[in-house]
Amino acid sequence: MWQWFFRLGSPKWFYEMSGKWLPWLLVLMTVLMSVGILWALLFVPQDYQQGDTIRIMYVHVPVASISLACFPLMAVAGVITLVWKMKLADMVAKCAAPIGAWFTAVALATGAIWGQPIWGTWWAWDARLTSMLIQFFLLIGVIALRSAIESPDAAAKACALLAIVGAINVPIIKYSVEWWNTLHQPSSDFSMDENSAFGPEIWVPLVIMIFAVYIFFVISLILSTRNEILQRERRSQWVVDIVAKEQV
């Protein structure tokens, strides 16, 4: 078990293994994504209130759920970086931050577009959108700190620490924003749990899309982590070999 854990820490091993996984993941993602999107666009019945905007949910909810998972992921990677000094964990954390920021930005944009017909405005200080916006700021902070510190080693540790502090804060922020919001104005009936009639024809495609987008997240994380590995290990022989072999 531990041996496996530490082997995973070897960038070269990860690079080789992820190269084997990638095609399978891509196939799986393409299949799930096509099924999910076609289902969502063609077969999901219109909502009696929201009409066809219900189809936005199949993009917004998966993207938002992953952007929420990003901070815990970075915090776990941060703990591994600080405790076991595993370089791979830092590479993953470094790559996860911008990808997470992109997911958060897309979640915010799709949330705004979904909300427009309901609120009559593109932006509302809804609890979910607000806490997502603040999480976006936190991610920008981590990225800014990473680019500000020159020494990669110090940057790794500093960002690991900030990610941990941020991850502790995210639930606090979420709770306080919800508390602030619910007391200010009645919660908009925009949340999923309030759609009482929630049959399988609604949630099955949603689950498929969530899986598809999760795999997409994993793929893009692996892709940029592989680049990061090449960059950091560029002086080692196996990377030199790859550079020499690859057709560009």
Query: Judged by CB under 8 A, how many residues of this single chain contact another protein?
Result: 81
Cβ–Cβ < 8 Å for 74, 163:
yes
- Residue entry with tokens 């606090």: 172
Distance of closest approach, residue 214 Cβ to another protein, in angstroms: 13
Whichever of 38 and 194 has its CB closer to another protein, that residue is 38
Handedness of CA 193, 181, 111, 137 (dihedral sign): negative
Assess 124 for contact with another protein (CB under 8 A).
no
Whichever of 191 and 231 has its CB closer to another protein, that residue is 231
Rounded to 10 degrees, what is the CA torsion of 142, 148, 153, 154?
Answer: -80
Whichever of 53 and 187 has its CB closer to another protein, that residue is 53
**Residue in 78, 114, 129, 132 binding another protein, rule: CB under 8 A:** 114
Q: Which of residues 92-111 bind another protein (CB under 8 A)?
A: 99, 102, 106, 109-110
Whichever of 56 and 69 has its CB closer to another protein, that residue is 56
Assess 77 for contact with another protein (CB under 8 A).
no
Nearest-angstrom CA–CA distance, 122 and 135: 19
How large is the greatest C-alpha to C-alpha distance in the chain, in angstroms? 62
Q: In the chain, helix, strand, coil percent, each to 5?
A: 85, 0, 15
Nearest-angstrom CA–CA distance, 185 and 173: 18
The closest of 217, 227, 228 to 66, measured between CA atoms, is: 217
Distance of closest approach, residue 158 Cβ to another protein, in angstroms: 5
| Structure-block tokens of residue 38 | 């076609």
Q: Which of residues 149-208 bind another protein (CB under 8 A)?
A: 149, 151, 153-154, 157-158, 161-162, 164-166, 168-169, 172-173, 175-177, 179-180, 183, 200-201, 204
Distance of closest approach, residue 193 Cβ to another protein, in angstroms: 21
Assess 14 for contact with another protein (CB under 8 A).
no
**What DSSP letter does each residue of 19-48 carry, written as one string?**
HHHHHHHHHHHHHHHHHHHHIIIIISPPBT
Distance of closest approach, residue 9 Cβ to another protein, in angstroms: 9
Site map (CB under 8 A) of another protein, residues 16-55, x = contact? -----------------x---x---xxxxxx----xxx-x
**Residue in 14, 15, 190, 216 binding another protein, rule: CB under 8 A:** 216
Nearest-angstrom CA–CA distance, 147 and 75: 18
Distance of closest approach, residue 196 Cβ to another protein, in angstroms: 19
Q: At what angle do helices 87-119 and 11-38 cross, to 10 degrees?
A: 20
